[in-house]
Amino acid sequence: MFERLATFAYSNRRRVLFAAVIGAAIAGVLGAGVSNHLSPYGADDPATQSVQATTRFQAATDRQLGPAVVALISSGDVRTPAARRRVQTVAAELTVQPDVARVASFYTTHDHAMVARNRHSTYVVAYFKALSDRRLSDDAKLIENRFASQHDVKLGGDSVANAEVNTQVGNDLAHAELLAFPFIFLLSLLFFRSLVAALLPPLLGGLAIVGTFFLLRIVSTFADLSVFALNLTTGLGLGLAIDYSLFVVSRYREEAARDGFGVEALRRTLQTAGRTVLFSSVTVAFSVAALAIFPQRFLFSMGIAGAIVALLAATLALTVLPALLAMLGSRVNALSPRRLRHAAERDARPQRSGTWYRLARFVTRRPARVALASAAMLIALGIPFFTQLRFINADARVLPESASAHQVQTALEGQFPPNRTTPLEVVVGAPAASPVLPALAARIARLPDVSAVAPVQPAGGRTSLLQVAPAHGPLAGSTEQLVREVRAIRTPYYVGVAGETASYLDLEHSLGAHLPAVLALVVLATLIVLFLMTGSVVLPLKAVVMNALNLSAVFGILVLIFQHGNLQGLLGYHSAGALDATQPILLFAIGFGLATDYGVFLLARIKEAHDAGAADSEAVALGLERTGRIVTAAALLFAVAVGAFATSRIVFIKELGIGAALAVLLDASVVRALLVPSLMAMLGPLNWWAPRPLRRLHQRLGPQEAAPHPA
């Protein structure tokens, strides 16, 4: 397969490149507006009680359950006629906006909870019709534009926060790309020692991003995707394309130094590095695609986008990149700065005296001590994750403090009676005039930690609404217990609890219910792909354990940074005292796939040396010598690609960028450089063991590769 692919790319290089240029142009035009077709965050599971109660209310009233827009007005003393007129003007402006179903203010409800403690500010709430999140986000943008010049009004609420997040995502993407590409080029130049070769990784990365935006635009026509898929697409697509181009170009230069810049070098490159790229991309795609098991739009979208970009990056590395190399020939080494030229010649022929070879020999002479020290360090870093981890649901506080929605939420929490805009929304399947409702309201009012129960609101037909204000914040333990107690009330009619606290509890339960299947799928995919590649059952199991150690260390560091609030000034964020509930799951899928990516590359070179007759310790040393520099460069470049999102002004995008960067850096430094060689030295021939039935299975199903060059 790989030989035929190389021959095709070499013989049809101009056609392949012409098709790539035309395809990129079409994809760029059609995929440019993809963000306009994507929806906000999306953390709800349709099967949970909070979503079902909300749906029931919306079906009865044709409007949203919670306020979509909260207009905070610095009105002056609310008892004055001027303040009353100003609030009524704002309410009137909101009433005529598209898709607004209901508007309420202090002057229509006479609810003193809508007045600040100093009586100099109040708020107006607007409820949208029951429409899609994307439509409501667009409506919120129109309202933002309407009030942009009214400096005494600040807008918040769920729909405004979603609209601001969408805008911020676009700004962050542009900033991350602007920051990442120059650094990627400079690091590529230091690695390849050639201006021409250094241009190939960012070029392939750009093609991967453009192509994935186009494919996401197609998918968005029949699936509801989150706008945050674009962040993953940019970081993962750029990083994987860079990794794969490093693997392929480095191997091509190595083969060309031996056999010349011709079709044979390209064949050998795809038979070895190309095979590795294929295994790696399949593993990453399966790992990330497992997220699509989750019903939450955010995680589902990340799974779809991640799988698409992984497979597309590999496709480009196995088709367009070989055609480029065939077209360039020896010019791939052109424009080499004089100071780097000698290093380039040395790098093309890895020697047994190299730094990585000596490191491997050092490790394999004392494997137990190195393995114990490395594992102990990773376990120690992971302790905060296992002992101190707390979760939080995403809200307006993920936005920067300068964002209007963030400021409104902060003001509501600090200046007004607590929790009136985040009550427990109790949807009852009984008409408002039913005598059972006062009894239910009284029963709820007697529960611990209830601050107030609002009067019954009719919701049409046989549906009513009770709003319960808890005594403490929406994510306080006592408020969570209050939700459980209300849900435990047994009545002959329907009672469902929605609202922020209920949604968070349902999110936790939904994630926990679906997580085992995701973990099993990711681990199983890793085991199968590594078995097919190596023919061993020991190496895949060892890889799973090492990946788990690496990721636990990453999660522990994230707890120290984002939960404990360290580095807030340096990273420009405000700690909420917890991690976003979806981030460890997302990082697990991405990190597991990426760790396997580097593991596949290293094991491929070790297996080549082993199959060529090298002793186990020598094969490990040769494999590390031939990959150490490349894996380190790939990790640095990938860390730049995803780490650029550390500049994002959305907190959980910061978490994702820093977490993914830490995962690849720890994996390349501690796991690949120390743990892998030490454990392989300890296991010796056992590394390649498999039961006889599985050996026969591997002989039938495992891909055939070219005979390796002598080690």
SS3 457: strand
Model pLDDT for residues 374-410, shown as the tens digit of each residue: 999 999 999 999 988 888 777 777 788 888 999 998 8
Q: Quote the percentage of the chain above a pLDDT of 70.
A: 96
For tokens 């319960």, name the residue.
468
pLDDT at 370: 93
HSE on the CB side for 391, CA within 13 Å? 16
Same domain for 548 and 471, yes or no, is: no
pLDDT at 609: 82
Residue at 184 is within a domain: no
CA distance 662 to 656: 10
User: Is residue 172 a contact partner of residue 648, using CB atoms and an 8 Å limit?
Assistant: yes
Residue at 57 is within a domain: no
Residue at 326 is within a domain: yes
Q: How confident is the model at residue 174 (pLDDT cuts 50, 70, 90)?
A: confident
Same domain for 257 and 285, yes or no, is: yes
Same domain for 145 and 101, yes or no, is: yes
Same domain for 268 and 313, yes or no, is: yes
Torsion region of 465: left, alpha or beta (phi above 0 gives left; psi -120 to 50 gives alpha)? beta
Q: Is the pLDDT of residue 332 over 80?
A: no
In which domain, by residue range, is 22 found?
1-32+193-349
- Does residue 85 or residue 601 have the better pLDDT? 85
The closest alpha carbon to 504, from 198, 112, 48, belongs to 48
Same domain for 253 and 359, yes or no, is: no
Q: Is the pLDDT of residue 707 over 60?
A: no
User: Is residue 506 a contact partner of residue 49, using CB atoms and an 8 Å limit?
Assistant: yes
CA distances 171 to 27, 219, 385, 648, Å, are: 21, 23, 31, 9
Whole-structure pTM value = 0.84
The closest alpha carbon to 252, from 182, 196, 306, 214, belongs to 196
pLDDT at 705: 45
CA distances 225 to 295, 302, 430, Å, are: 12, 9, 36
Q: Residue 81: give its domain's CATH number.
A: 3.30.70
Q: How confident is the model at residue 711 (pLDDT cuts 50, 70, 90)?
A: very low
CA distance 39 to 223: 10
Same domain for 275 and 325, yes or no, is: yes
Residue at 179 is within a domain: no
Residue at 49 is within a domain: no
CA distance 313 to 121: 53
Residue at 332 is within a domain: yes
Structure tokens at 396: 């307006």
CA distance 292 to 289: 6
Q: Residue 375: give its domain's CATH number.
A: 1.20.1640.10
Model pLDDT for residues 64-75, shown as the tens digit of each residue: 888 889 999 998
SS3 399: coil
- Does residue 496 or residue 577 have the better pLDDT? 496
> What mean pLDDT comes out for the span 97-111?
90
Same domain for 551 and 669, yes or no, is: yes
Same domain for 388 and 249, yes or no, is: no
CA distances 689 to 60, 229, 394, 540, 624, Å, are: 64, 40, 47, 11, 21
Residue at 656 is within a domain: yes
For tokens 């990273």, name the residue.
571
- Does residue 352 or residue 328 have the better pLDDT? 328
Same domain for 660 and 593, yes or no, is: yes
Residue at 427 is within a domain: yes
Q: Give me the helices (H) in 498-650, please.
A: 500-534, 538-558, 568-571, 583-611, 616-643
Same domain for 3 and 140, yes or no, is: no
